[in-house]
Amino acid sequence: MRLVFAGTPAASVPTLRRLAAEHDIAAVVTRPDAPLGRKRVLTPSPVAQAAHELGLPIIPAARLDDEATARISLLEPELGVIVAYGGLVREPLLSIPTGGWINLHFSLLPRWRGAAPVQRALMAGDERIGASVFQLVPALDAGDVFAMREVEIPADATAATALDLLAIDGADLTSAVVAGIADGTARSVAQDGEVTLAPKLTLDDGALDFTVPRAQVFARFRGVTPEPGAHTTVDGQRLKLLDAALPDAGEETPVLAPGEIAATKTRLLVGTADEPLAVTRVQPAGKGAMNAVDWWRGQRSTDGTRLGS
């Protein structure tokens, strides 16, 4: 099929590469180069970089406005495919491809419609995570679903790890749907189940509350890592938690009050409402990442200092 592909982050790249090997990609729509790093160097999106490698035409667009719509219309695509582009597809662009647009979404719809489905699923402690390919409609992530697949991820996976796994499985899922649309065998069904929303995360979402049970603290850590990042405060100063884990099953751990710290040779144990969480790497405000034990030993904290203080 003659396709237009829209996407921006690394999670979009496996699907782009897969479809480029199987179909005619008339153009790749992606967000413009953005300033990254301390030196704010203009850097192409991961999708733009992949499109350059594949020799595909690129339409840089911060939003799918009239100009982008006009450029896509001239290509006369049969189908639009969107994967985490970062903008809405509205009419008349929605109807320009003869087959409309399909969207690879990283959730088991209708659960977690919105910008941060994987992050919100992990934060909520969901045991089932997956991907869906659906027909794009004006309402947010509400179209009929062509295919859905549950993906097994490690119990300690962060949002970054989970997205990597979903991106690979999602590429296979999207490829199968596009093939079905091409040969006329694809069928879609209405979404069924409770609708939940997954709005974009803010910095405040990364704040850890150690007064709740450990499972909830760890679930939030997983969902906000690496972005916007898990953080707390110590003596009023922000501390970012980069690596955390559950202690091994059967391991004896001390009884700690919420936020209370006990140091071992390799990690910190931090109290929660029930059992402690292990922390191995942190980043204090204004400094680089460091071993959590080294940071704690260098603290000039008074007795009783706790995370969240």
E strand intervals along the chain: 2-7, 24-30, 34-36, 41-43, 58-60, 79-83, 101-105, 130-135, 145-150, 230-234, 237-245, 261-263, 268-270, 277-284, 290-291
Partners of residue 6 on adjacent β-strands: 29, 82
State the pLDDT at residue 303.
Answer: 55
Average pLDDT over residues 237-260: 92
pTM above 0.85, yes or no: yes
Q: Which residue has the tokens 């985490």?
A: 84
Q: Evaluate the omega torsion of the peptide bond into residue 110 and state whether it is cis, within 30 degrees of 0.
A: yes
**Looking at the chain, which residues constitute the CATH 3.40.50.170 domain(s)?**
2-183
Torsion sign (Cα): 204, 246, 278, 154: negative
Give the CATH H-level superfamily of domain 2-183.
Formyl transferase, N-terminal domain (3.40.50.170)
Average pLDDT over residues 132-141: 97
| Mean pLDDT across the chain | 94
State the pLDDT at residue 300.
Answer: 66
Span 144-181, pLDDT tens digits: 999 999 999 999 999 999 999 999 999 999 999 999 99
- Residue in 187, 155, 8, 1 with CA at minimum distance from that of residue 78: 1
State the pLDDT at residue 299.
Answer: 81
Does the structural domain 203-298 have CATH classification 3.30.465.10? Answer: no
Window from 125-134, 213-222, 243-252, 297-306 with minimum mean pLDDT: 297-306
Span 175-214, pLDDT tens digits: 999 999 999 999 999 999 999 999 999 999 999 999 999 9
Span 65-98, pLDDT tens digits: 999 999 999 999 999 999 999 999 999 999 999 9
- Residue in 183, 209, 57 with CA at minimum distance from that of residue 123: 209
- Find out whether 306 and 257 touch, Cβ atoms under 8 Å: yes
Span 99-117, pLDDT tens digits: 999 999 999 999 999 999 9
**Looking at the chain, which residues constitute the CATH 3.10.25.10 domain(s)?**
203-298
Partners of residue 28 on adjacent β-strands: 5, 58
Nearest 5°: phi and psi at 79?
-155, 140
CA distance 76 to 78: 7
